[in-house]
Amino acid sequence: MKNYPAEPYKIKVVEPIAMTTREQREAYMKKAGYNTFLLNSEEVYIDLLTDSGTTAMSDKQWAGLMIGDEAYAGSRNFAHLQEVVREYYGFKYVVPTHQGRGAENLLSTIMIKPGDYVPGNMYFTTTRAHQERNGATFTDIIIDEAHDSQIDLPFKGNIDLNKLQKLIDEVGADRIPYICLAVTVNLAGGQPVSMKNMREVKELCSKHGIKVMFDATRCVENAYFIKEREPEYKDATIREILKEMMSYADGCTMSGKKDCLVNIGGFLCINDDDLYQQASELVVLYEGMPSYGGLAGRDMEAMAIGITESVDFHYIQHRIAQCRYLAEKLEAAGVPIVKPVGGHAVFLDARAFLPHLDQEEFPAQVLAAELYIESGVRSMERGIISAGRDKVTGQNHKPKLELVRLTIPRRVYTYAHLDHVAEGVINLFKRREQIKGLNMVYEPKLLRFFTSRFEPKA
């Protein structure tokens, strides 16, 4: 066993968590329609549903809440947030939003015309939904290897420049308002993008007058991987790497609920004066004044402090180490996982875990449900259910990756909690042949993974 860094924080407040029996969990899962999103959190022992908004804030952030300036306009906490965003990310303008999808809504609405194309390094659910809602077609231009769970590459989130060039040749640059470059790529398993790739994407896009917009949700995790894997950055600080990464973008959407270390919040960053003008007019309609955008002053303060804490080397080193610790235990027991391990989660490869199930029997969905019953651990499907249906044909998208995401919240769980998670997955792996598929009995039209319901196959 390798050495893993101990927690770079100590515990000041504790939150007791539910201890349940297997019989209780079977009943809870049935009631939740075999969808882990529909469980009550009080029914969950270790909650690895998401790393979104589940962060433990620091004492400084909690203290920051007390200096919230709740003025309707011109709050001092907005001024602080703006200052921090400019300093750490380097963008000219920031428009706060209630969370990342609020920023995606603004960006897609101001930049997309019906018939446009938005290329990206694999889709993200809400991001693509906003692009499509505004009339664009999302085009996946991530490198092919990203769709293979077993290929071990340092920067598996990279954009394939040939695919980008091909799309430009086919549809014309004037039908591509921007490229959406996610750092890291959530649905590929939290895989990073190299600095070199960002630089090259920016060069190619600039040549064609196409803007580069980052989905910066997990940009600090990406910066850590660059430090570790791109030799010229080994002596650079996380903060320096982050600033350089952002210099290859014209703006970004941000879900502050991840790498800004807060429970709610997000923002849109933009350098262009005219686009900022449009965003600051639109935000009034959907979120609030451009100086609060759906957030309380205290939330903006916590987010500003969170940004400064997120670039601390020891924090981010420990976070990535926790993912690797869990992965190492699973791999040692032969459990199939996505490789290499990304920055926010360990992804189980449900196809390899349950090879006897067809994709339309929802292997990842049933695996998440069974893991909860086995161990009280809540995880999430990232496969055919999350991918939804083709907007033209109505057929299921059938992604190559059929995954269960074990997402590690920031600064919340200890290595001992992760031991419990590993034990649950390994027990399930030992009895994998007994696991049967599911039938979907309720399917909502939009983002179906949140509320769809299932029943076990006979």
Ligand X SMILES: Cc1ncc(COP(=O)(O)O)c(C=O)c1O
User: Do the beta carbons of residue 125 and residue 138 sit within 8 Å?
Assistant: no
Question: What does each C-alpha distance from 273 to 4, 250, 269, 428 come to in angstroms?
Answer: 46, 11, 11, 54
- Site map 211..250 versus ligand X, x via CB under 6 A: ----x-x---------------------------------
When the beta carbons of 257 and 329 are compared against ligand X, the nearer one is 257
Gap between the Cα atoms of 125 and 396, Å rounded: 14
Residues designated as active site: 72, 124-125, 215, 258, 382, 449
Stretch that binds ligand X, among 121-129, 190-198, 329-337, 431-439 (CB under 6 A): 121-129
To ligand X, the closest distance from the beta carbon of 31 in angstroms equals 25
When the beta carbons of 120 and 424 are compared against ligand X, the nearer one is 120
Q: Is 105 in the site for ligand X (CB under 6 A)?
A: no
Handedness of CA 77, 83, 85, 91 (dihedral sign): positive
Chain positions 255 to 294 lying near ligand X, rule: CB under 6 A, are: 255, 257, 266
Q: Which tokens go with 28?
A: 């809870």
Run of H or E residues at 211 = strand 211-215
Cα dihedral 394/395/398/403 (nearest 10):
60
To ligand X, the closest distance from the beta carbon of 259 in angstroms equals 10
Stretch that binds ligand X, among 124-132, 152-160, 163-171, 285-293 (CB under 6 A): 124-132
Neighbours of 309 (CB within 10 A): 18
At 33, give phi and psi (nearest 5°).
65, 35
The residue type at 182? A
To ligand X, the closest distance from the beta carbon of 182 in angstroms equals 5
When the beta carbons of 355 and 444 are compared against ligand X, the nearer one is 444
Cis previous bond, 217, omega within 30: no
To ligand X, the closest distance from the beta carbon of 344 in angstroms equals 8
Q: Which tokens go with 438?
A: 């599911």
When the beta carbons of 181 and 327 are compared against ligand X, the nearer one is 181
Q: Is 100 in the site for ligand X (CB under 6 A)?
A: yes
To ligand X, the closest distance from the beta carbon of 255 in angstroms equals 3
Q: Which tokens go with 118?
A: 């938005």
When the beta carbons of 55 and 255 are compared against ligand X, the nearer one is 255
When the beta carbons of 108 and 375 are compared against ligand X, the nearer one is 108
Q: Is 186 in the site for ligand X (CB under 6 A)?
A: yes
When the beta carbons of 8 and 53 are compared against ligand X, the nearer one is 53
Q: Is 101 in the site for ligand X (CB under 6 A)?
A: yes
Gap between the Cα atoms of 276 and 110, Å rounded: 9
* Number of residues this chain uses to bind ligand X (CB under 6 A): 14
To ligand X, the closest distance from the beta carbon of 405 in angstroms equals 10
Chain positions 36 to 95 lying near ligand X, rule: CB under 6 A, are: 52
At 174, give phi and psi (nearest 5°).
-75, -10
To ligand X, the closest distance from the beta carbon of 124 in angstroms equals 4
Gap between the Cα atoms of 431 and 410, Å rounded: 31
Q: Which tokens go with 289?
A: 């004044």
Which of 99, 121, 139, 263 touches ligand X (CB under 6 A)? 99
Gap between the Cα atoms of 340 and 149, Å rounded: 8
User: Do the beta carbons of residue 81 and residue 304 sit within 8 Å?
Assistant: yes
Q: Which tokens go with 204?
A: 């190619």
Name the site residues for ligand X (rule: CB under 6 A). 52, 99-101, 124, 126-127, 182, 186, 215, 217, 255, 257, 266
